[in-house]
Amino acid sequence: MLRGKRVLLTGASGLLGHAITEMLAGSGSRMVVTGRCENRLKELPQQYQGNCEIYSFSGDICHDNFRRQLIDFTCAKLGGLDILINNAGAFHFGNLMDLIPEEIDQVITTNVTALIHMTYLALPHLLSSAQPSIINISSLAGKASLPGASCYAASKWAVIGFTVALQQELWKQGVRVCAISPGQLEMLGAVLPNGVGTIPLSSVTDAIVFILQHPAGSCPAEIVLRPIASC
């Protein structure tokens, strides 16, 4: 069901973004991938071009001019847009008093402001699609806050609030809007209490497939992924 779908993926130069790109390429989607790390981003079309139509466009989505250029580039290359996956994120962990203002601004601007603006710019094109979808990658931190992650948690609570409100704004127009809120991912290399491991990246990509292949007429509002011990 994803073959030929036109996808814009942010945060593609990170490990989770790479895993999402691999999943989309395997499904035959047509996509534009973006991220801040130009060198890692340029590798993706080279790696997956034989499997799908893929273009990279590097830059910082915190800047309005870049966001507008990205949307124009995407629609020019793909002829429109069916799916927006807001995956770009920033995090600086530490107690609030230990952070510097620039770190606070980067977390809020990347995780909240840029995500909202990307959605705003993409919506006119998504509404021209027969099956438009918006997936926002949030975090379990947006459900249960922890000390040392106050700004990050605040940003992810905001993503959940934005997603829920947007669902109610767009459901009559047939737009799927869903948030995925995973716990600690395996890329962080952390071990959770009681011997429970981190969440594999494939759990997030599987959740994306579940949302996009969900039968018409309904859509999951949010998928929360919590780690469990392997048996």
| pLDDT band, residue 192 (cuts 50/70/90) | very low
Q: Could you read off the pLDDT of 127-137 as tens digits, one per residue?
A: 999 999 999 99
* φ, ψ (nearest 5 deg) of residue 193: -60, 160
What is the distance, to the nearest Å, from the Cα of residue 52 to the centroid of all Cα atoms in its chain?
Answer: 20
| pLDDT band, residue 227 (cuts 50/70/90) | confident
Among 111, 168, 169, 119, CA closest to 138: 111
194 has pLDDT over 50: no
Which range (33-37, 149-153, 187-191) has the least confidence?
187-191
Q: Could you read off the pLDDT of 5-22 as tens digits, one per residue?
A: 999 999 999 999 999 999
What is the distance, to the nearest Å, from the Cα of residue 88 to the centroid of all Cα atoms in its chain?
Answer: 6
For position 73, which CATH number holds? 3.40.50.720
Q: Answer yes or no: is 1 within a domain.
A: no
pLDDT, average across residues 134-150: 89
| pLDDT band, residue 32 (cuts 50/70/90) | very high
pLDDT the model gives residue 29:
95
Domain limits for position 193: 6-225
* φ, ψ (nearest 5 deg) of residue 216: -60, 150
Q: Answer yes or no: is 230 within a domain.
A: no
Percent of the chain with pLDDT over 70: 94
Domain count, the chain: 1
Q: Answer yes or no: is 53 within a domain.
A: yes
Q: 225 near 204, Cβ under 8 Å?
A: yes
Cα separations (Å) of 65 from 55, 145, 162, 208? Answer: 19, 33, 23, 28
pLDDT the model gives residue 41:
87
Q: Answer yes or no: is 231 within a domain.
A: no
Among 130, 184, 196, CA closest to 156: 184
103 has pLDDT over 90: yes
